Each structure stands twice: as structure tokens, then as C-alpha cells.
Amino acid sequence: MVGLVVTKPAGTAGAYDIAVVGGGLAALFVADALADHARVVVCTGGKSPKPASSRSLGIVAQGGQDSPARLALALGEAAASAYWRWSGAAVALLLERADALGLAAQRSGSWRVSMGAEEWGEWQSSAELIRRWTEDAGSVLSISGQELVSRDVGQGFEGAVYVPTDGVVDPQALLGSLESGLQGRASVLATRVAVGDALADGTKRLHMETGETLECQLVVVAAGWGSAAVHPWFRDMLYPVRLQGLRTGTLSERRLEAPVLARHRFESWLQEPSGQLGFVGCRWAEQPEMEAGVTDDTVISQEVDARQRGFLAQHLPGVLDCGVVDQWTGIASVSCDGLPLVGPIPGDPRILALCGWGGWGLSLLAQAAMDVTSMALGRDDPETPSFLTPRRML
């Protein structure tokens, strides 16, 4: 537990209790939760790269990049089930929050499809684990590739597991709503910042692009891939991966009731309420380094485009007949071990990390932001699994 130490009298110009660094959904969620309890300033960064939050497909999916079975092998079943529950709370919280803001979250569930026999074996083991950890075990379905075709989920897959708790939100609407909700409750500055030397009493000093400084007692670093430039500790902990998306024209019929995540979540797609198909993918199995280390979110990679179209032609035949009407890229922040960084960094309890989502931040950040809020306000220890705290990197 960190606990907020308020030493400045209210109203001191340029002095805050908490600085939240970032302008994406992680920063806005935590700022929203803190704003009624402390003097909060949100430093939202520069014009580029754009927040990954504004590029997201909106799929809210329990778990992480590694399947539950793989996580259980790496960390043991107790840790894997703790992560599954924690990420389930994150999904539920985000969907509830979207509802509360009047943004009509969908509770569609999601399909986790497997491309080959090995992945399918791993996912069948995962389904058994999930059933063991879930009250409503019967709602977690495992179905064969053949049945997927008859359900119109796609073809050429080995099989799929249906996770009923997942859903879809509109990330742009969420960003807009949270941003306007902060008006009058927190100061919002459109500037990049970096943490400088602290004052003798431990007060943190942030340097803005303009050369001015801000003082605060606690810093929440929620700057996505940009976190590496906010504080030196993040430099070796995060790396960028560029994700690329495309949107087709309106399909002639409703083909997909729920989003689909494939190849350990490297690809995902959904049919949007408009009837269009949205598809996002990143590193491809045969070339895993592809798009890793790339930080330019203004360029469409023709190589990735060719792979995405090939994938769609093979697994969702016909969808490209409606044409591709939109393409975009965005930068995901991935931690060294693929798990999020949530909590104080080693050696400095006044710097709280809230980043490193491995391309699935929308799904995880709501609970992580609540945990960081509890840490900042010195409330009872949140139930953040210990292997998500930055000190695991020591």
C-alpha cells in the first residue's frame, strides 16, 4: 500500500496531490476515480502517437495474451486462477461503467478460436481450468471447427472455446464521456511530461514540454508505450508493438454475434453494430518479430495488409467482397513478460505504474485503475495479483 501524503494547502498554484500521466483510457479511468478525493492534474501528452485507446476495436475479453493453461504452467494454477478472476472483474467493471455512462455495452461473450491442433489442445485444457474456476461452468463451451462453420464463426479453425462473460464497448465514446466527466474535477494539461529529481521532502517534480514544472506527491504513469519517456525505470520494461486494423463495408447479413480472438489473441475481429467487420492483428506466427519495436502509427504496412486480407479470405470468405473502407494502426505497450504493470515501481513508492497491457489494455485497465486508486489513497490493499506488481521485475 502506498498511501497519499497531502502536504500542500489546497489551491497552491502548480501543486497537486496526484499527477496522472497519459490521455488514454487508463489515465482517464484512474483520474476519474481519484478526482473527488485529491487535487489531480492529468497530463495527456502530445499529438502523436495517438492514444491506443482511440484505435481499439472495443473487444473486452477476460484473461491475457497467454491462455489460462499456459499461464498455469508458467506460474501455477493458483496464480493463473487469480489472474483469470482479476481480469474477469476488469471486464465486468468496464462493461458496468459503460452502462452507467449510457454507452450501451454489449455482453456478447467471445469465441477463442484455435488455428492448429497444438493450440486447440492448449485451449481445451484452458476450458477445463476455466470451468473449474467458474460458477456457471456449463456456459463455457468447447466446440469443434466443423461446428464453428455451421455457426458461421469462420472456417479453417481447429476448434473454439466460448467465454460468456466477454463483451464489446465503444472505446471512442468511453474516451469522450470520461474526458468530459473530468471537467471541473481535475486539471487537464495537453503536455508531455517527464519525472525529474524530487524535492528534499520527497515532493515529485514533473517537467513539461514548455519548460515549466509541476509539483505533486504521487505520480501515476499511464502513458502507454510513452511511459518509457516519463520515468527511466520503464525504459527496459516496455516495448512497443504496432497493431494494424481494417474495416470492411457493411456485410449483407449479420454473420457474427460475438467477437472472435485467434492465435493467442494476435488476431481479433467483430461485426460492429453498423454491420461492418472490424479486424485487428499484429505479429504473425511465422514472423513473430513483425511490427515489434515500431512506433510510427501513421503508416499502413502493405505487408501486414496482405497478410490480413489473406487471413480473411481463408477464414471468413466473402467479407472482403464488401471492400475495405478504413485502415489504421496503433501502438500497444507490451511488458517484458507480457503481463501488466500495476502498482509502485521498485525503489519509489510514489511512482505508480498503470501500463504494459500487451495489446489488451481495454479489457484490463478498469480493475487495474481501481487498484491503483486504492493504493494512491492508502485504502485497504487491493486484490491485485502479486505477479502484476512492478517489483516482480527485480
Ligand X SMILES: Cc1cc2nc3c(=O)[nH]c(=O)nc-3n(C[C@H](O)[C@H](O)[C@H](O)COP(=O)(O)OP(=O)(O)OC[C@H]3O[C@@H](n4cnc5c(N)ncnc54)[C@H](O)[C@@H]3O)c2cc1C
Select from 303-311, 318-326, 334-342, 355-363 the region that touches ligand X (CB under 6 A): 355-363
Instruction: Restricting to residues 30-49, name those near ligand X by CB under 6 A.
Output: 43-45
- In the chain, the amino acid numbered 53 is S
The distance of closest approach from Cβ of residue 25 to ligand X in the complex, given in angstroms and rounded to an integer, is: 5
At 277, phi and psi to the nearest 5? Answer: -100, 125
Per CB under 6 A, the segment of 17-25, 66-74, 81-89, 232-240 that binds ligand X is: 17-25
Stretch binding ligand X (CB under 6 A), from 23-31, 138-146, 285-293, 385-393: 23-31
Tell me: does residue 53 bind ligand X (CB under 6 A).
yes
State yes or no: residue 193 binds ligand X (CB under 6 A).
yes
161 binding ligand X? (CB under 6 A): no
d(CA 307, CA 299): 16
Q: Is 377 in the site for ligand X (CB under 6 A)?
A: no
Tell me whether strands 15-21 and 40-43 are parallel, antiparallel or unpaired.
parallel
Closest residue by Cα to residue 175 from 354, 52, 345: 52
One residue of 112, 192, 264, 350 binding ligand X per CB under 6 A:
192
How many chain residues touch ligand X (CB under 6 A)? 40
d(C-alpha 15, C-alpha 49), whole Å? 28
Least separation, in Å, of the C-beta of 284 and ligand X?
15
Q: Are 87 and 205 in contact (CB under 8 A)?
A: no
- Supply 171's cell numbers: 472505446
Q: Are 103 and 174 in contact (CB under 8 A)?
A: yes
- Nearest to 62, CA basis, from 81, 88, 26, 93: 88
Q: Which one among 167, 359, 385, 390 touches ligand X, defined by CB under 6 A?
A: 359
Residue 114 backbone dihedrals phi, psi, to 5 degrees: -110, 140
Footprint of ligand X on this chain (CB under 6 A)?
A: 21-27, 43-45, 51-53, 55-59, 192-193, 222-224, 226, 229-230, 243, 245, 268, 280, 330, 332, 355, 357, 359-363, 365
